[in-house]
Amino acid sequence: MTRKSVRIRKSLALREPAKPVAAAPAATPPATSKPRTRRDDFPILAASPNLHYLDSAATSQKPRAVLDAMRAYYEHDNANPHRGAYDLSARATQRYHDARERVADFLGVVDAPTLIFTRGTTEALNLVATAWGRTNVKKGDELVLTGMEHHANFVPWQQLALEKHARLRICPLTADGRIDVDKLKAMLGRKTAVVAFSHVSNALGTINPVRDIAALVRDKARNAVIAVDGAQSAPHMHVHVDELDVDFFAFSGHKMLGPMGIGGLVGRRELLEAMPPYQMGGDMIEFVGDETTTWNVLPHKFEAGTPNVADAVGLAAACDYLDTMGIEKVREHELSLITLIIERLRAIDGVTLYGPADLSLRSGVVSFNVADIHPHDLSTVLDQEGVCIRAGHHCAQPLMRRLNVPATARASVYVYNEPADVDALVRGVVRAKGMFAHG
Amino acid sequence: MNNLDALYQEVILDHNRKPRNFREIEGADRRVEGRNPLCGDQVTVWLKLDGDHVADVSFKGTGCAVSKSSASLMTSAVKGKSKAETQQLFDKFHHMITGKMTDAERGQMGSLAALGGVSKFPLRVKCASLAWHALKSALDGGGEVSTENEGPALTEGA
The answer to whether residue B104 scores a pLDDT higher than 80 is yes
In a domain, B110, yes or no: yes
pLDDT of residue A85: 84
| A262 within 8 A of A308, measured Cβ to Cβ | yes
In a domain, B122, yes or no: yes
| A266 within 8 A of A229, measured Cβ to Cβ | no
Element (H, E) at A163: helix A155-164
Number of A:B CB contacts under 8 A?
50
pLDDT of residue A438: 66
The answer to whether residue A16 scores a pLDDT higher than 50 is no
CA distance A367 to A389: 10
Give, rounded to a whole angstrom, the gap between the first and last alpha carbons of chain A: 60
- Whether residue B13 and residue A436 make contact (CB cut-off 8 A), yes or no, is yes
pLDDT digits (tens, 9 = 90+) for A243-272: 999 999 999 999 999 999 999 999 999 999
Which of B1, B4, B16 is the best mutation test for A, with the most CBs of A within 10 A? B4
In a domain, B145, yes or no: no
Which chain A residues are Cβ-neighbours of B6 within 8 angstroms? none
The answer to whether residue A5 scores a pLDDT higher than 80 is no
pLDDT of residue B41: 84
| A266 within 8 A of A228, measured Cβ to Cβ | no
The answer to whether residue A14 scores a pLDDT higher than 60 is no
- The C-alpha angle with vertex A129 and arms to A131 and A399, in degrees rounded to 5, equals 170
Q: How many contiguous H segments (helices) and E segments (strands) does chain A have?
A: 15, 15
Mean pLDDT over each residue of chain B, to the nearest integer:
87
Compute CA distances B45 → B24, B62, B72, B83, B136, whole Å.
8, 12, 11, 15, 10
The answer to whether residue B153 scores a pLDDT higher than 60 is no
CB contact burial A49-79 (16+ within 10 A = b; e otherwise): eebbbbbbbbbbbbbbbbbbbbebbeebbbb
pLDDT of residue A31: 55
In a domain, B144, yes or no: no
In a domain, B69, yes or no: yes
Residue B141's pLDDT band (boundaries 50, 70, 90)?
Answer: confident
Which chain B residues are Cβ-neighbours of A407 within 8 angstroms? 39-41
pLDDT of residue A33: 60
In a domain, B149, yes or no: no
Range of the domain at B50: 3-139
pLDDT digits (tens, 9 = 90+) for A49-71: 999 999 999 999 999 999 999 99
- Whether residue A380 and residue B124 make contact (CB cut-off 8 A), yes or no, is yes
Going along chain A from its start, the domains and CATH numbers come out as 87-321 (3.40.640.10), 327-436 (3.90.1150.10)
pLDDT of residue A32: 61
pLDDT digits (tens, 9 = 90+) for B51-89: 999 999 999 999 999 999 999 999 999 999 999 999 999
In a domain, B153, yes or no: no
User: What average pLDDT does this structure show over A413-435?
Assistant: 97
Q: Does B6 touch chain A (CB under 8 A)?
A: no
Among residues 50-109 of chain B, which lie with CB inside 8 Å of chain A? 62-66, 68
Closest CA to B97 of B143, B129, B134: B129
What is the total count of domains within chain B?
A: 1
Chain B residue closest to A382 (CA)? B4
Listed in sequence order, the residues at least 6 apart from A345 whose beta carbon sits closer than 8 Å to its beta carbon are A351, A353, A366, A368, A426, A429
The answer to whether residue B150 scores a pLDDT higher than 60 is no
Q: Which of A374, A392, A407 sits opposite B65 (nearest CB)?
A: A374
In a domain, B34, yes or no: yes
pLDDT of residue B38: 75
Which chain A residues are Cβ-neighbours of B66 within 8 angstroms? 376-377
Which of A380, A385, A399, A408 is the best mutation test for B, with the most CBs of B within 10 A? A380
- Domain containing residue B86: CATH number: 3.90.1010.10
The answer to whether residue A301 scores a pLDDT higher than 90 is yes
pLDDT of residue B52: 94
Residue B1's pLDDT band (boundaries 50, 70, 90)?
Answer: confident
pLDDT of residue A267: 98
